[in-house]
Structure 1
Amino acid sequence: MNVDKEWFEKGYIDEKTNDTADLAGEIRRMCREKDAVIMAHYYTRKEIQDVADFIGDSLALAQKAAQTDAQIIVMCGVHFMAETCKILCPDKLVLCPDLNAGCSLADSCRAEDLKKYKDEHPGYKVVSYVNTTAAVKAITDVVVTSGNAKKIIDTFPQDEKIIFGPDYNLGSYINSVTGRNMLLWNGGCHVHERFSVDAIVKLKKENPDAKVLAHPECKGPVLAVADVIGSTAVLLKYATENSSGRYIVATEAGILHEMQRKCPETEFIAVPPEISEGSVGCSCNECEYMKMNTLNKVYNCLKYEWPSVDVPEDVAREAVKSIERMLELS
């Protein structure tokens, strides 16, 4: 095996190594030795989900981070998720297998821009989707997830002035089901925005008995043809409780691994994206940032306890208030 000398001398595993079983075994051994837990989002690679102590959506991962007694948390997802873990567990070592695993949605809303918008709208409460940076959470009144957004918005008086960001599609959906008129930040997830009605209609013609499951980060026209709209956890629960059906799934394809694991006899059909000319990023229904998490990187970050994620104390002090408020209301 031709391995770069500096890479080899540092003890890193060659990324071409394909012995998944040995890697998984070593990762589990180190977790026991180091009192570490691996948390993985549903959108990560299937081998990451298989080696994790806990898999879930953003809300479940935040709750688990707040509850764990482990000394090390390996957050397999994207960077803002690791930040959330660190905010909730300031005394624990939080590792992120690849610091480059960002989020197009979080990137669409910078803290300085949101602050300016907030200052331009005095008297408005700020409700931010969990897919945001720690700095944005620090100027937010309450954080929400796709699974609890409606429930939390319903706790506000009907005439409350609310700024909702950064996901425009989720905010628009919540407006439609609550009768609100929240001001919406114009951000979006580059994966969910690629799904089109045409692709779903074509699949429905080919599979007339299949129900459409869609994440509320999808555009309004896509949600309009969906049979079930919900977070990854909601969609998974529905499919599990109705496992005799067939499903067309409009969300990041990583969730299909857990769906298939829980419902091995059920057919799940991933909606392909509609790629426009000049578009950038992965031309598929997968998030390339989530897929940056690999077993090799998990092994390395556990072995070397690096790279770690830290949040400035002043930012964390303010951000934790909006997260704790969410956990109280969930």
Structure 2
Amino acid sequence: MNAAVRPAWSPDLEERYADVMERAGSGVPCLEWPFHLPWIDAIAKLKRERGAVIMAHSYQSPEIFHGVADITGDSLALAQAAATVDSDVVVMCGVHFMAETAKILAPQRTVLIPDPEAGCSLASSITAEDVRALRARHPGAPVVTYVNTSAAVKAESDACCTSANALQVVESMGADKVIFLPDQFLGRHVASMTSVQLVLWEGRCEVHERFTAQQARHARARFDARVIAHPECPPEVLEEADFVGSTTAMGRWLERERPARVALITECSMGDNLRTRFPDIEFVKPCNLCPHMKRITLPGIFDCLRDLRHRVEIDAETSHRARAALERMLAVGRRERV
């Protein structure tokens, strides 16, 4: 298929999508709206024609998160939605493992990802063969796998988890020793809160591993900011934080605490998307961009909906085994301490 022809701008788009522009707020510079709004309008029309629902992770850019997404949230929220969605077509605006998760939980739906090259350093850090080797070295130890992994790795696991319920999933295994994969920093954070012995892998998130304790201290000293961090950050960063939690838990903490200023130590678009929800809070740096999340664009979303391309397919056996691990995660649900 040919690449999408850019839809035309018309002045009435600003009035028609005034609510979108308001929700996105300062996350989208005003000069960019003449480019974004024609795509947002064209995608809205295609969604209706295709009977599609668009899901967007919290790390998606504001024009996607606020402009075209029907369902937004962290990995657990998107997985929960995928398990119950009734649309014929699901477009996952996130990275590839999220699209795989949606397909596993909604196998009868057409699941699309705008860019199949939108990967994840954690997912690429471990293979199904690695999991089998770990099981051989630690016989009898159940495997809890972070949702940021491939379907093949999930299929080798006893249960999946997200950062929102990792501790609870680990403790639900009823074992003295658990193999926890693949994020070593999240694993260390969980290990600090439980008596269960965790066997960790050396995976890291390329976005969160770059943060430093000095950045956290600087944000507090220079801006008098409260510091909240994602548990994929290095331990020395978490030690400096006023709160550590998943992307959803960060929002709940902000709602409760209402600090004057906050340093959100996670992916940049998370802060952009929270600004409109908390206009009274000043968000200060640091943050890091996820290069994989940013591969998802409005033209790419339009193309995949128009052509129904980049379909996610998983073989039946892998899907069946991975689904069991994901359903165990969903049964635990969100029990994060906030």
TM-score (norm 1): 0.90
Which of 322, 325, 335 is the matching residue for 1:319?
322
Paired residue type of 2:179: I
8 Å contact kept, 1:49–1:55: yes
User: Matches of 1:212 and 1:27 in 2, distance apart?
Assistant: 37
Paired residue type of 2:301: V
Report the counterpart of residue 199 of structure 1 in structure 2: 215
Over the matched positions of the two proteins, sequence identity in percent amounts to 41
Report the counterpart of residue 336 of structure 2 in structure 1: none
Paired residue type of 2:4: Y
User: Pairwise mapping of residues 195-234 of structure 1 onto structure 2 (< 5 A)?
Assistant: 195-208=211-224, 210-234=225-249
Paired residue type of 2:172: T
Q: Give yes or no for the alignment of 1:40 onto 2:40.
A: no
User: Pairwise mapping of residues 153-192 of structure 1 onto structure 2 (< 5 A)?
Assistant: 153-157=170-174, 159-192=175-208
TM-score (norm 2): 0.88
Q: Give yes or no for the alignment of 1:237 onto 2:252.
A: yes
Q: Which runs of 5+ in 1 are unaligned?
A: 1-6, 273-284
User: Matches of 1:309 and 1:256 in 2, distance apart?
Assistant: 29
Report the counterpart of residue 15 of structure 2 in structure 1: none
8 Å contact kept, 2:177–2:196: no
| Structure 1 range deviating more: 172-181 or 226-235 | 172-181
Any idea what the Cα deviations from partners look like across 1:65-95, whole Å, max 9, x if unmatched?
A: 0111100000000000000000011110000
Q: Give the C-alpha shift of residue 270 in structure 1.
A: 2.4
Any idea what the Cα deviations from partners look like across 1:252-298, whole Å, max 9, x if unmatched?
A: 111112210100121011215xxxxxxxxxxxx01000000000000
User: Matches of 1:244 and 1:123 in 2, distance apart?
Assistant: 46
Which of 81, 84, 88 is the matching residue for 1:64?
81
Q: Give yes or no for the alignment of 1:328 onto 2:335.
A: no
Report the counterpart of residue 4 of structure 2 in structure 1: 12
Paired residue type of 1:216: P
Any idea what the Cα deviations from partners look like across 1:32-67, whole Å, max 9, x if unmatched?
A: 121100000011111110110011000000000011
Name the Cα RMSD after superposition: 1.5
Paired residue type of 2:297: T
Any idea what the Cα deviations from partners look like across 1:160-190, whole Å, max 9, x if unmatched?
A: 3210010000000000011332100110101
Aligned length in residues: 307
User: Matches of 1:313 and 1:96 in 2, distance apart?
Assistant: 20
User: Pairwise mapping of residues 62-211 of structure 1 onto structure 2 (< 5 A)?
Assistant: 62-157=79-174, 159-208=175-224, 210-211=225-226
User: Matches of 2:217 and 2:259 in 1, distance apart?
Assistant: 22
Q: Give yes or no for the alignment of 1:25 onto 2:41.
A: yes
Any idea what the Cα deviations from partners look like across 1:198-244, whole Å, max 9, x if unmatched?
A: 11112211122x21000000000000010000000000111123334
User: Matches of 1:42 and 1:13 in 2, distance apart?
Assistant: 28
Q: Give yes or no for the alignment of 1:302 onto 2:305.
A: yes
User: Matches of 2:86 and 2:171 in 1, distance apart?
Assistant: 33
Q: Give the C-alpha shift of residue 121 in structure 1.
A: 1.5
Report the counterpart of residue 260 of structure 1 in structure 2: 275
Q: Structure 1 residues 104, 233: CA separation in 2 closer, same or farther (over 3 Å shift)?
A: same
Q: Give the C-alpha shift of residue 323 in structure 1.
A: 0.3
